[in-house]
Structure 1
Amino acid sequence: MLKEKMAEIPRFSFFSSKTQQAIAAESWDNLFPDGMLDDVIQEKLKARPEPSCPVFWFDIRDPTDEDIDQVTETMNIHRLTAEDIKLREPREKVEVFRNYYLISFKTLVDSSNAEHERPGIPSSASMYILVFQYGVVTFSPKGCSHIHSVRDRIRKMHDIHLSSDWICYALIDEIIDSFQPVSTEAATEAEAIEDQVFIARIDDVQNLIPRIDALRKKITHTLRSLHGKLDVLKGFVKRCQAADKLLPVFPDGELILYLGDVQDHLVTTISTLGHIDEIIGRSQGNCLAQLSATNLRISLTVNSVMSKVTILATIFVPCHLVTGMFGMNVIVPGQEDSGLTWFFGIVAAFVVFMIVCMGAAAKYKLL
C-alpha cells in the first residue's frame, strides 16, 4: 500500500514552514504556473533572511538533465554541483560554495525500483542535499521515503526553530536510521545461523553456506556505505565547529549537538554490524570445519570399503582364471571321466582356497 502511494506522488514538491504544507506537481511549470518562483522565495534569493523568516524546501525526485538545468539557473547553483547531480556522482561528500553547501549521501531505496538489483544486497542510490540560508533543495531517488518522513516529523514537532540546517540534519538522521532495519535483520539472521550450525545435519550444513555467503555480502555492502557516511559526517562536524565569517553557510551552536548525536548513532550501527560480521564469520568457519570433517570421514569410509572390495576381487581372480581355462575348447583333466568327481573336487579346491585367503586377510586385518 505504501509503495503504491509513493508511486503516485508527483516528482516535484514544494514545502514551506509558514504553511506546514507541501504542494506537488509533475513539472516545474505546473508547480509555479507563472513561470517564476514564489514571491517569498524571490525575496530570499535577493537578500539574506532573518532567523524568524520561514524557510522553504524544494524536492525533485529522479531529476532529468532539463530539470537540473532549470533549477540551476533559477537557484544560482554552481555548475560543478549540477554536473555531479547529472552524472549521479556516487562518492559521498560535503562541499561548500558561496551561498550554499552540498551534502551527497547514498541511501537505501525500494529494491523493486532499483536499476541494478542484486539478490540479498540492499539497493542504494545517491541523494543530494543543497542547503541555503533560506531553504533546502533536494534531489532524491525514486523509492526513497525520507522526504515524506522528515516533513511529517516537522509537522509533529512544534518546539523547534525550523531552519534549513535543521532540515538537513533531519534528512541525514533519517538516512542513517534507514540502515537500522538492515542491521536488525542481519543480527536476527546471524543468530539463527549460529544456532543451526552445531545441530544441523550434513545436508542442512550445505544449505547454510549460501545463506552465510549472502549475509556476509549484505553486511559488507552496508558497512562500506556506512563508513563513507562516517567520514563525511566527521568532516561536516569539523567544518561546522571551525565555521567563521568566511564560511557563513555552515550551521553552528545547538545544531552541532544534533549532528554529534547522529554521528553516535552511526558509530553504534557500524560497531553492531562489525560484531555481527565476526559472528557470521565464526559460524562460516564452523560450517566449513564440519564439512571438512564429514568429507574426511566419508573418504576414510570409502577407502576402507574399496580396500575390502579389492581384497575380495584379488581372491576371486584365480578362481575366474581356472574356470576360464576349463571353459576353453581344449582337453582338460577329467574330461573322459563320466562322473562328477572332478567337478566337486575343483569346487572344493576353490572353497578351500577362498577360506585360506580370507583367513589370512582377516589375520592381517585387511578385511
Structure 2
Amino acid sequence: MPPRFAHFSTQTQKTTTSATWEGLLTEHNQTTQFSDPKAPGSNDTWWLNVSDATPEEVTTICAALSIHPLTAEDIATREAREKIEVFRNYYLISFQTLLVAPKDAETGSSTSLSSIPDSVGFYILVFKNATVTFSPSGCAHVARVRDRIRRTQDARAVSSDWVCYALIDDIIDTFEPYMRAAEHAADSIEDQVFIMRVDDIKSLIPQVDRLRKILAQLTHRLSGKNDVLNGFIKRCQASPHTRNPVFPDSDSDTGGDLLMYLSDVQDHLVTTLASLAHFDEIVGRSQSNFLAQLSVNNIRLSFDINSVLSKVTVLATIFVPLNMVTGLFGMNVQVPGQYTAGLAWFVSVLGAFVAFICGCCLVARRLRLL
C-alpha cells in the first residue's frame, strides 16, 4: 500500500510515512503527541497529512485527535462548499483545489485551456501546535509547502497558522498558469477579429464560447476562496475580547506576520479576480466586434444579391412580352409572311424584337435599373 499517512516535524524537518494510521502510531510511538495536539508546552509544530482518507480512517483520526463530528462528516462526505469554521480547540478551512498543478507559463510550459481539471476538497485543521490536512492524491501542495519550510531560514518561526497560510497560498498559485493562458487566448482573439477573413471569423465563435466558459469557471472557483480568506482575516483582526483563542493574536509578532502574509495572499487573489474580469470584458468586446463585422458583411452581401436580383427582374420583364409573342405565333395560327417566299418577314420580326430589347435596356439604364 502507498504511504498515505505522513507526519512532518518543523523542528527536525523529518517526514515519517506509513500506509496505515496504526503503523504511523507504532513506528515512532507518537500516540501521546497525537492525542493532545493543542498542548502549549511543546515547542515542536507537527503536521499530519492524510491522502485519500476513507470514511473509516477519518472517523478513527477524528476520534484520536478530539475533532468535532461535524468536521468528520464534512471530510468523510467530501463537502464541496468552501468555508472556515471555528471550534473549541481548532479551526477548519475547506478549500477546493485542482487535481493537476500545471507549470507556470513563464517556465516554457504551455497550459492548455481545452478544459480545467476537476476540483476536489482540501481540508486544513489548525490546532495550537499542530496542523492536520486531508488532501487528495494528484496535488502537490503538501510536498511544495514542505520544501518551502525546509528553505525557511528560521524554522522556529514556522507555526501551525503559518503552515495553513502556506497551503492557502500554494492552492491559489495553482490557478495562476490558467489565468496567464486565458490572458494569452483573450489577446489572441482580440488581435484576430479585424485581420481574419469572414470564413475564419466564423470559427472564432466556438473558441470565444469555450474561453468565456473557462473564465467563468475560474472566477467561480476563486470567488469562494476570497470569501473564506476575508473571514479568516477578520477573525484574526478581532479584538482580544471577541477573538477565539485558536486564532493568533494580531498584536503579537507571530500574529502580525501572519496577517501580513494573509493580506499578501488576499491582494494576489483580488488581483487575479480583477484580471479575470478584465479578460472576460476583452473577450466580450471582441465577440461583439466580430458579430458586428459579420452583420455588416451579411448586409453587404444582401445588398449585392438584391442588386443582382433587380437586374435579373428587369431582364425577365423585357423578355416576357417577347416570349408571349413567340408563344402566341407558335400555335396553330397564321403568322405574318407565312406564304411569302424569302426571309424578309422573319428578319423584320427579329429586328423588331432586337429594337424592342435595346429600347427597353436604354430606358432601364437611364432609370438606373441596370
Alignment correspondent of 1:129: 124
Task: Report the number of matched residues.
Answer: 352
* AA at the equivalent of 1:96: V
Bigger Cα displacement from structure 2, 213-222 vs 336-345 = 336-345
Bigger Cα displacement from structure 2, 20-29 vs 204-213 = 20-29
Alignment correspondent of 2:206: 210
Distance 1:171 1:40 in 2: 24
**How many percent of aligned residue pairs carry the same amino acid?**
52
Distance 2:71 2:279 in 1: 37
Q: Which of the numbers 294, 298, 306 marks the counterpart of 2:301? A: 298
Alignment correspondent of 1:4: none
Alignment correspondent of 1:13: 6
Tell me by how many angstroms 1:121 deviates. 4.1
Distance 2:65 2:77 in 1: 19
Q: Structure 2 regions of 5+ residues with no counterpart?
A: 103-112, 250-254
8 Å contact from structure 2 (residues 127, 246) kept in 1: yes
Change (3 A) 1:233 1:349: same
Q: Structure 1 regions of 5+ residues with no counterpart?
A: 1-7, 113-117
Tell me by how many angstroms 1:331 deviates. 4.2
Residues 1:308 and 2:301 aligned together: no
Q: Which of the numbers 159, 173, 178 marks the counterpart of 2:174? A: 178
1:179-328 paired onto structure 2 within 5 Å: 179-242=175-238, 244=240, 247-252=244-249, 253=255, 254-328=257-331
Residues 1:94 and 2:90 aligned together: no
Distance 1:123 1:61 in 2: 17
Distance 1:319 1:70 in 2: 100
TM-score by length of 2: 0.86
* AA at the equivalent of 1:144: C
RMSD between aligned alpha carbons? 2.6
Distance 1:326 1:13 in 2: 105
Tell me by how many angstroms 1:211 deviates. 2.0
1:249 counterpart SS class? coil
Q: Which of the numbers 50, 55, 60 marks the counterpart of 1:70? A: 60
Change (3 A) 1:312 1:184: same
1:126 counterpart SS class? strand
Q: Which of the numbers 347, 352, 361 marks the counterpart of 1:349? A: 352
* AA at the equivalent of 2:165: Y
* AA at the equivalent of 1:64: T
Tell me by how many angstroms 1:25 deviates. 4.0
Distance 2:2 2:329 in 1: 94
1:304-355, Cα deviation, whole Å (9 max, x unpaired): 1111112212222222223333333444444334533333333222222211
TM-score by length of 1: 0.86
8 Å contact from structure 2 (residues 38, 89) kept in 1: no
2:58 counterpart SS class? helix
Distance 2:67 2:45 in 1: 18
Distance 1:255 1:236 in 2: 11
